Amino acid sequence: MAPRILLARHGQTEWSLLGRHTGRTDIPLLDEGREGAKLLGERLHRSRWAGLDGFEIRTSPLARARETCELAGFGERAQPWDTLMEWDYGAYEGMTPAEIQAIRPGWFIWRDGVPEGESLEQLSARADEVVAWARSADRDVLVFAHGHILRSIAARWLGEHVSFAARIRLDPTSLSALGWAYGAPAIERWNDTGHLEG
């Protein structure tokens, strides 16, 4: 069996709602985010997913991802992993893209990176570590993490430069799956929020 990786983005927070870059700041979930996490868990515990028996589960240690994991019903099975933490935005932590553009016109995070934070190369290396771990054994995996690191993992799973992540948006409390097609890495499902639609 070729291993797959399921990606669960954390639920809605105040900063994600406002579009603020939320890297290492430990922002809690909003009530909406908590409800979404429960709905994601219900989805993963029924039908084709059936509780993901046999899956290895890891979570970012940051509260918003860890709580999403717990509310989805996987807290006891999940191992915290610093590699899944969000991009360290350095001087741009807490700022919106519009605020950054006001001081740095033309700025594009996936090209220009962030001052005093984690470089694109460092982000890519962390994504590579997750991909290598996911492919390392004969089992599927589930990770709970954050928008930019999960997009980076997807880019590197596909063998693309980490900047490819700019082309694959990811909403809060979404579910995605990376697997294989014709023997090559592929996206099986992306940014699926069907569990939030009633």
Answer for the pair 39, 17: CB distance below 8 angstroms, yes or no.
no
The count of domains in the chain is: 1
Q: State the distance between the two ends of the chain, measured CA to CA, in whole angstroms.
A: 34
Q: What's the pLDDT tens digit per position in 111-169?
A: 999 999 999 999 999 999 999 999 998 899 999 999 999 999 999 999 999 999 999 99
10 is a catalytic site residue? yes
Indicate the burial class of 69 (C-beta count within 10 angstroms; 0-12, 13-18, 19 or more). buried
Structure tokens at 47: 């039908």
Per-residue model confidence as pLDDT tens for the chain (198 residues): 578 999 999 999 999 999 999 999 999 999 999 999 999 999 998 867 665 778 899 999 999 999 999 999 999 999 999 999 999 999 999 999 999 999 999 999 999 999 999 999 999 999 999 999 999 988 999 999 999 999 999 999 999 999 999 999 999 999 999 999 999 999 999 999 999 986
Query: Domain range for residue 130?
Result: 5-196
Residue from 10, 21, 146, 195 carrying the catalytic annotation: 10
Answer for the pair 174, 45: CB distance below 8 angstroms, yes or no.
no
What is the domain-level CATH number for residue 40?
3.40.50.1240
Residue from 56, 67, 86, 118 carrying the catalytic annotation: 86
